Amino acid sequence: MSDEEPKTMTGAEMVIKAMLDNGTDTVFGYPGGAVLPIYDALFKQNRLRHILVRHEQGATHAAEGYARSTGKCGAVLVTSGPGATNTVTGLTDAMLDSIPMVCVTGQVPSHLIGSDAFQEADITGITRSCTKHNYLVKNVNDVGRIMNEAFHVAQTGRPGPVVVDIPKDILNAVGTYKDKSTAKRQSYNPVKRPNQKMVEHAVDLMAKAKRPIFYVGGGVINAGASDALTKLVHMTGYPCTTTLMGLGAFPGNDKQFLGMLGMHGSLEANMAMAECDVMINIGARFDDRVTGRLDGFSPNSKKIHVDIDASSINKVVRVDVPVVGDAGEVIDMMIALWKKKKVETHKSAVAAWWKKIDGWRARNSFGFKDSATVIKPQKALRRLNHFLLKKDFFITTDVGQHQMWAAQHILYNKPNRWMTSGGLGTMGYGMPAALGVQIAHPTKPVVCVTGEASILMNIQELSTIVQYRLPVKIFILNNHYMGMVRQWQEMFHGSRYSESYMDSLPDFVKLAEAYGMLGLRVKDPKKLDDTIKEMLAHKGPVICDVWVDRDENVYPMIPAGKAHNELVLGPDELGSEVLDKNRV
């Protein structure tokens, strides 16, 4: 395909043209019969790079990692039938975590649709509930318009995944390409500019606060508003906490940062949320892992909720000041109003609030008992953080205990450096996400923190990492259990460890070597530092198998059915009254 836009081209060429027109330089995919016309068109050009994964779920997670770490839209290309259905987990993951993605799926020829043809699946029907929007293309002259519209929908408003299903005959047909000017549609018009009066109301409420807190989610990162948020928080002098997805939106090493909140968040963050009088929620959705039992969630506070998705406001928690709009634009307006009004805060009351917060902080709720004989997982991650601190690093994780420890013990001082599966909790996300991040940032350190159970979910993507010579570091916290499952079984099911022990694990060092990678293993705490340094110094990909304490649990923890101020801080509190605000 030439660089000049032709008047006519095949449907397959239109797919590639639209991706390039929308700033896509990389597509993650796996070929098959229904999409061979696109792969033939890919072969004839050099501008769009294709990354061949080993499973279509891997393609979606790689696109998520790419998108989350760059702020761009991820792109996926898969064939019909099982190729398309294998993307459902990644699409749902992107939907819940607001990750922009366009997934092009092949479909059987138009005249065979509905006949149970070979490798036919109703992917638009299957993905209706787990995509922001989806399309079945019926005319080659619609391919350009629909593709450009798909990118527009995926990236504007609350970001999310969009599926474009294209029959093979449409890909082969010749038609007229419609460019980006056709992308906007009357029925989709997300609000970016907030209502001025609602923002003024919010600022007035913030100014009167005596026990305020900023509660920040991934929406701030999606809006590219982290610097503006940091400025606003510093102007007010108020404390700030983030959700799991919001880590990095506010610097982790800032004195006003209270750490992550929620089920495994810090004591100070959860208690401050419980006792605040004004809660400023920017870009978070009151997830159940944050709120705990709803009737006990911050009952005495006035709540401000800033979100670009109007449907998220008042869906879970009733708020006092709803502000619909782009987080960046809202924060900029708040800063301007704060300066214009020359706000004088309740300094003595806020100082007393900070004193109370410092009392909670002194409890060191992320603390742990170290050991000279066995590696503690928290220690392993703190040492990893130590050796990464001076680098511009990226962390991806899978899901479970290691995920929570990585959120607690690694500092994220910049946005877009932390990639994890939040809403869906997808084991198998971490390694393909890491390869997507590494493709986007080829010279930066990318570490996948994972568990021995999670890594096996998409272990085949080791082949992709090796093929493209990606220097991804895979840091396995190996406790020979499905750790979070074991923890819940211990706490709530009488230590009946039903099917949570990981027997017959592979030798991860030999597995690495089988793929042509460096394999490392460490069991001795005294050798931990040297092993981490060797892993990070190696120029290519590494699997580092870190054998950690099998019995270690994640604390703090809000048990299921409890309010967010009813934290268990450690094993000594199990079986007794859980911590409440009167005992702090």
Distance, CA of 439 to CA of 13 (rounded, Å): 24
Distance, CA of 510 to CA of 188 (rounded, Å): 52
Is residue 579 within 8 Å of residue 573, measured between CB atoms? yes
Q: What is the CA radius of gyration of the chain?
A: 25
Q: Report DSSP state, residue 480.
A: S
Distance, CA of 442 to CA of 388 (rounded, Å): 16
Looking up tokens 């898969």 gives 78
Catalytic residues: 56, 118-119, 168, 484
**Residues near 327 by Cβ (< 8 Å), separated by ≥ 6?**
219, 220, 222, 223, 225, 229, 282, 283, 306, 307, 308
CA atoms within 13 A on the CB side of 484: 19
Of residues 374, 368, 290, the one with CA closest to residue 571: 368
Q: Tokens for 7? A: 């008047």
Burial group, residue 288, by CB count within 10 angstroms (0-12, 13-18, 19+): middle
Distance, CA of 252 to CA of 336 (rounded, Å): 25
Q: Where are the beta strands (DSSP E) in 37-73?
A: 49-52
Question: What SS3 state is found at 481?
Answer: strand
Q: Tokens for 79? A: 């064939």
Is residue 522 within 8 Å of residue 544, measured between CB atoms? yes
CA atoms within 13 A on the CB side of 404: 21
Question: Phi-psi region for residue 129, left (φ > 0), alpha (ψ -120 to 50) or beta?
Answer: alpha
